Amino acid sequence: MISSLILSLKVLAVDVPLLLVIGTSLGWLLARRNFRGKEALNLLIFLPVVLPPSVLGLYLLMLFGRLPFMRELGLLFSFPAAAIAPLFPSLPIMVQSARSGFASVDVGLEEAARTLGDGELAVFWRVSFPIAKRFLMAGLALASARALGDFGVTLMIAGNIPGRTQTLPLYIYSRVEALDLAGANMAAILLTGVGVMSLLLVRRMEGAHGGAS
């Protein structure tokens, strides 16, 4: 179990910063900019929410295994695949939160910052980001928990190779298959704890914002 735990933590170490950067950028883009293909991009980001993980995994298999350039990278069934896989189902959660967060920032505040001498980047870092921060952190907590618990997509493109791609959720699956329920339970309790913690964190963010009662 220890090697699976370490692997899961490694996956998180890669995914959390990626979720924050990509999710925040996409959320800001969807909330604040109008461009051609915005609807298509929106659809693409949120497709993983409605697709079964096996379907998503199959598409990713084809993408990484068939496309000439992608194939050369040799990502499939290795740690990079295990790290990338959870991004797809968890990114929509982060984007949704970030988009709501940035949409909640009054455009007038950003305009005020501009008249006070700020360029677009400064407006983002001094006004939009700090005000939307609670939404971003809440989204990140939920998305990270989702990424940690990813099973289907990881199984499809990274496989279930102990020590290489077997993350905690896959470990549980293998333990149950081997009828080692005690081992499965240990890992399950760990994951449940993380899930509850992230929900509590989200509640705190919302509570401090004066949001949901």
**Residue ranges in contact with other proteins by CB under 8 A:** 106, 108-109, 111-119, 126-127, 130-131
| Distance separating the N- and C-terminal Cα atoms of the chain | 39
What is the smallest separation between the CB atom of 136 and other proteins, expressed in angstroms? 13
DSSP assigned state of 86? T
Given the complex with other proteins, which of 37 and 108 has the nearer CB atom?
Answer: 108
Min dist CB 142 to other proteins, Å, is 23
Smallest gap from residue 36 Cβ to other proteins (A): 21
Least gap, CB of 122 to other proteins (angstroms): 8
Q: Which is nearer to other proteins, 162 or 207 (CB)?
A: 207
Q: Would you give the distance in Å from CA 72 to the centre of its chain? A: 26
Q: How far apart are CA 137 and CA 140, in angstroms?
A: 5
Nearer to other proteins, 34 or 115 (CB): 115
Lookup: tokens for 83 = 């790290």
Biggest CA-to-CA distance, the chain: 66
Task: Considering the complex, state which of residue 113 and residue 156 has its C-beta at the smaller distance from other proteins.
Answer: 113
Distance between CA atoms of residues 97 and 194, nearest Å: 20
CA gap 14, 167 in Å, rounded: 14
